């Protein structure tokens, strides 16, 4: 953990000494080559109009609190033009910023209201500067997250230990399931003589019945489910439907105590 | 499922059931023997949690629990399990982590996402990775990281609010972050359009090695940085 903290603490310090605010390449993944004029290299790296604007401000080495709007706006439009020439689809957000810049440029050209009190007169660039400063903070925060994630990726945790929770199927063996089935089957052998009417139920219907019973209550004692079966055949279908739903992992079987009742639960 | 295939499926296991019945009888004796064993074990299992005798034993138990716990285990959980005061456990944890991390070994005992966890030291990642034959997981894009930063610091925050700060739409970033379970929906904001609000998840704390959100550097730190230019 100490390494992590040192890592994040060191980064801003570096930036402070490294001259003006770091804007592009806020993530070290991007190595923006500022020395070359080749626009294509940096083109795709702009993450939005604010990102591009910050880059231009840095590139032109101007004060963020006193942006020469005309120069920056021209530069910005030039970038957009290159983007279009390169056939990069210019996102709408970039165009909105272009409009904002043009509007600002126009307003900066207009003479100031000579009758307005100096305090009342707000710099038309204020909103944009605030937005840029705010964005810049989050860009720095994103960089901090990046370095944290990089350290974290080098940290490994213990692999999963197999428990009954991670492997619930183990807790009820096929034998346990069979045992319940046999018990009920034995009981049915005696009752089968009384059966007069046979109601045929299909596998699909039985699966549906089981599903409904498990879903409605969240869990279902298999004894209850098997005892609902009216005939030997139905019982077999019921048993198969349990196997089927376990196979498709829709339900899982649990046994709270050895030789206790087997409970079907909705698999989470 | 067609009717035909249903019938086949039923007929087959009928014989199987008869066979299994035979097998069941054969195995019954074995089961009977097993039952007594299992029951004896059951009774011993209940109530094995006895009062901790010494602080060394307490530290040992805590260490073992942290090791087996899949997710970072909280001091509260440990306290409940050991039936001890939270303050006692906190103290023991502090002592244990000091002792353990003082070793400067290949493992670290660290506090993350509101719990305690053993993990390898990042310095040794190359060898660990070579052994596990794992490659570093996919990195988040800058757009996603920025979106995540906004969500982490402004949560709960809506998509329009994120747009306002980043100046660009971020639907795909939000989807990526949701897919990676780094953020979660936190309900809808009571405003026009009732937009969904997002916040960071426990997974976020784990993936970024954070104890809790308060461990994030404050926004003012970034402000100084921005203003210093």
Domain ranges of chain B: 55-132, 142-216
Which residues are CB-contacts of B66 (< 8 A; sequence separation ≥ 6)? B73, B109, B116, B117, B118
Using DSSP, how many helices (H) and how many strands (E) does chain B show? 10, 5
Q: Which CATH number fits domain B142-216: 3.40.190.10, 2.40.30.10, 3.40.50.300, 1.10.10.10?
A: 1.10.10.10
Chain B interface test: which of A12, A91, A154, A235 (most B C-beta within 10 Å) = A154
Q: How far is CA B76 from CA A19, A91, A108, B80, B95, in A?
A: 47, 50, 61, 6, 17
What's the rounded Cα separation, in Å, for the pair B203 and B181?
6
Q: What are phi and psi of A240, to 5 degrees?
A: -65, -35
Contacts of A256 in chain B (CB under 8 A): none
B56-B61-B64-B70 Cα dihedral, nearest 10 degrees: -140
Q: Peptide bond before B156: cis, by omega within 30 degrees of 0?
A: yes
Half-sphere exposure of residue A39: CA atoms within 13 angstroms, side-chain side: 14
Residue range(s) occupied by CATH 1.10.10.580 in chain A: 168-266
Q: Please tell me the distance from the alpha carbon of residue A120 to that of residue B128, in angstroms, as a whole number.
A: 63
**Which residues of B fall within a CB distance of 8 Å from A55?**
none
| Chain A touched by B47 (CB under 8 Å) | no
- Chain B interface includes A179 (CB < 8 A): yes
Tens of pLDDT, residue by residue, chain A (268 residues): 333 333 333 333 333 333 333 333 332 233 344 444 443 334 445 778 898 888 888 888 888 888 888 888 988 888 888 777 776 666 678 888 899 899 988 888 887 777 766 666 677 888 899 899 999 999 999 999 999 988 888 899 887 776 655 555 555 667 777 888 888 888 777 665 555 665 678 888 888 888 888 888 888 888 888 888 878 888 888 899 988 888 888 888 888 777 778 888 887 6
Query: What is the C-alpha to C-alpha distance for residues B80 and B89, in angstroms, rounded to an integer?
Result: 10
B41-45: Cβ within 8 A, 24+ apart: B42/A257, B42/A258
Check if the beta carbon of residue A76 is closer than 8 Å to that of residue A155. no
The reply to whether A173 touches chain B by the CB within 8 Å rule is no
Which residue, among A58, A155, A162, A202, would best test binding to B if mutated, counting the most B CBs under 10 Å from its CB? Answer: A155
Q: Tell me which of B34, B145, B171 to substitute to probe the interface with A (most A C-beta atoms closer than 10 Å).
A: B145
How far apart, in whole angstroms, are the C-alpha atoms of residue A114 and residue B181?
56
Note the pTM of the prediction, 2 decimals: 0.59
Burial class (CB in 10 A: 0-12, 13-18, 19+), A214: buried
CATH superfamily label, A168-266: Structural maintenance of chromosome 1. Chain E (1.10.10.580)
Largest Cα separation within chain B, whole Å, is 85
Q: Is A140 touching B (CB cutoff 8 A)? A: yes
What ipTM is given for this predicted complex? 0.70
Structure tokens at A229: 């079966």
Among 3.50.50.60, 3.40.605.10, 3.40.50.2300, 1.10.10.10, name the CATH number for the domain at B55-132.
Answer: 1.10.10.10
Give pLDDT < 50 ranges for chain B: 1-11, 42-46, 226-229
A135 in contact with B, Cβ within 8 Å? yes
DSSP label of A169: G
Q: Is A151 on the interface with B (CB under 8 A)?
A: yes
In sequence order, the 6+-apart residues with CB closer than 8 A to the CB of B223 are: A133, A137
First to last CA, chain B: 70
pLDDT tens-digit series, residues A42-77: 444 577 889 888 888 888 888 888 888 888 898 888
Task: Tell me which residue of A136, A142, A141, A108 sits closest to A122, measured CA to CA.
Answer: A108
CA distance B142 to B144: 5
**Cβ-defined contact of A259 to B35 (cutoff 8 Å):** yes
């Amino acid at each position: 953990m100490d390494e992590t903290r040192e890592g994040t603490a060191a980064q801003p310090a570096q930036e402070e000494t490294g001259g003006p605010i770091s804007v592009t390449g806020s993530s070290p993944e991007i190595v923006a080559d500022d020395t070359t004029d080749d626009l294509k290299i940096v083109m795709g790296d702009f993450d939005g109009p604010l990102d591009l604007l910050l880059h231009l401000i840095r590139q032109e080495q101007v004060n963020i609190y006193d942006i020469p709007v005309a120069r920056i706006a021209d530069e910005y439009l030039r970038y957009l033009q290159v983007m279009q020439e390169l056939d990069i689809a210019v996102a709408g957000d970039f165009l909105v910023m272009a409009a904002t810049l043009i509007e600002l440029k126009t307003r900066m050209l207009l003479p100031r209201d000579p009758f307005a009190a100096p305090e009342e007169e707000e710099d038309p660039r204020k909103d944009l500067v605030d937005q840029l400063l705010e964005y810049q903070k989050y860009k720095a925060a994103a960089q901090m997250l990046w370095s944290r994630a990089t350290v974290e990726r080098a940290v490994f945790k213990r692999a999963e230990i197999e428990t009954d929770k991670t492997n619930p199927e183990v807790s009820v063996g096929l034998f346990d399931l069979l045992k319940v089935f046999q018990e009920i089957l034995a009981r049915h052998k005696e009752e089968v003589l009384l059966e007069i009417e046979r109601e045929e139920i299909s596998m699909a219907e039985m699966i549906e019945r089981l599903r409904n019973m498990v879903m409605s209550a969240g869990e279902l004692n298999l004894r209850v489910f098997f005892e609902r079966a009216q005939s030997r055949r139905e019982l077999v279908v019921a048993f198969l439907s349990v196997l089927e739903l376990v196979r498709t992992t829709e339900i899982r079987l649990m046994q709270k105590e050895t030789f206790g009742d087997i409970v079907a639960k909705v698999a989470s | 499922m067609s009717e035909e295939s249903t019938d086949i499926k039923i007929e087959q296991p009928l014989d199987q059931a008869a066979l299994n019945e035979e097998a069941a009888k054969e195995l019954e004796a074995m089961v009977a023997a097993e039952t007594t064993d299992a029951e004896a074990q059951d009774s011993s299992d209940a109530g094995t949690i006895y009062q901790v005798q010494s602080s060394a034993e307490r530290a040992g138990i805590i260490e073992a629990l942290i090791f087996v716990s899949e997710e970072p285990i909280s001091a509260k959980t440990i306290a409940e399990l050991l039936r001890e005061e939270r303050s006692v456990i906190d103290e023991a944890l502090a002592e244990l982590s000091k002792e353990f991390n003082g070793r400067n070994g290949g493992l670290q005992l660290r506090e993350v996402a509101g719990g305690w966890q053993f993990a390898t030291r990042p310095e040794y990642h190359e060898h660990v990775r070579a052994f596990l034959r794992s490659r570093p997981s996919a990195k988040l894009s800058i757009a996603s990281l920025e979106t995540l930063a906004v969500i982490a610091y402004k949560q709960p925050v809506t998509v329009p609010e994120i747009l306002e700060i980043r100046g660009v739409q971020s639907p795909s970033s939000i989807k990526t972050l949701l897919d990676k379970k780094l953020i979660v929906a936190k309900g809808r904001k009571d405003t026009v359009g009732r937009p969904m609000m997002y916040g960071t998840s426990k997974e976020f704390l784990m993936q970024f090695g954070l104890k809790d959100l308060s461990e994030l550097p404050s926004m003012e730190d970034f402000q100084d940085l921005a203003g210093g230019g």
